[in-house]
């Protein structure tokens, strides 16, 4: 297998893992928690989802052939307080955005990786654009995880190795669990 094909498969895996991390965090909070804002300058999970979805649909629709900042995108509206929606609507947006990303990346061929695409008329290699978006989405998923952990408080189930459990985790993983 060539490195380009390995890269594309890895990117799909990473996008899916990033999506799953967000979902595992959101599954630990109540529906009303999606709309919680600690202050006016901090985005709720609902706002982050709207922003991610808007970005994903804009960037990945006709990825190789049109500028990633579509004329129909209303980015500023993505950050307005959400009063008119519910969790089902948010999760619909979430799924549509991620489907657009995964479908677009899965359609890429190794020879596409060195092509030039544009985001706001700025040139990027396809590899650079993919890495840019993976970083961007991971940043916002981290915000979702942090907010969900805060809101779930004592009911939070760790998404990785819980504090103070690294040794136990490593021993179990490496087959050296205590008897």
pLDDT per residue as tens digits for the range 99-149 = 999 999 999 999 999 999 999 999 999 999 999 999 999 999 999 999 999
**What pLDDT does residue 83 have?**
63
pTM, rounded to two decimals: 0.91
Q: Are 49 and 93 in contact (CB under 8 A)?
A: yes
Confidence bin at 81 (pLDDT 50/70/90): confident
Mean pLDDT for the chain overall: 93
**What pLDDT does residue 79 have?**
85
Mention every residue, 6+ apart, whose C-beta is less than 8 A from residue 8.
Answer: 105, 108, 110, 113
CATH code 3.40.50.1820 for 3-173: no
What are the domain boundaries of the chain? 3-173
């Amino acid at each position: 297998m060539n490195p380009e094909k390995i890269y594309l498969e890895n990117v799909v895996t990473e996008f899916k893992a990033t999506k799953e991390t967000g979902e595992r965090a959101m599954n630990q909070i109540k529906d009303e928690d999606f709309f919680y804002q600690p202050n006016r300058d901090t985005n709720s999970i609902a706002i982050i989802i709207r922003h991610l979805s808007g970005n994903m649909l804009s960037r990945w629709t006709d990825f190789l052939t049109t500028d990633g900042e579509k004329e129909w995108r209303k980015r500023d509206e993505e950050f307005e307080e959400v009063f008119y929606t519910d969790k089902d609507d948010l999760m619909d947006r979430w799924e549509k955005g991620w489907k657009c990303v995964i479908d677009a990346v899965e359609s890429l061929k190794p020879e596409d990786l060195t092509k030039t695409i544009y985001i706001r008329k700025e040139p990027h290699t396809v590899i650079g654009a993919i890495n840019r978006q993976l970083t961007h989405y991971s940043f916002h998923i981290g915000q979702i995880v942090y907010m969900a952990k805060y809101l779930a408080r004592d009911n939070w189930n760790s998404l990785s190795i819980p504090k103070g459990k690294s040794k136990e985790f490593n021993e179990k993983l490496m087959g050296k669990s205590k008897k």
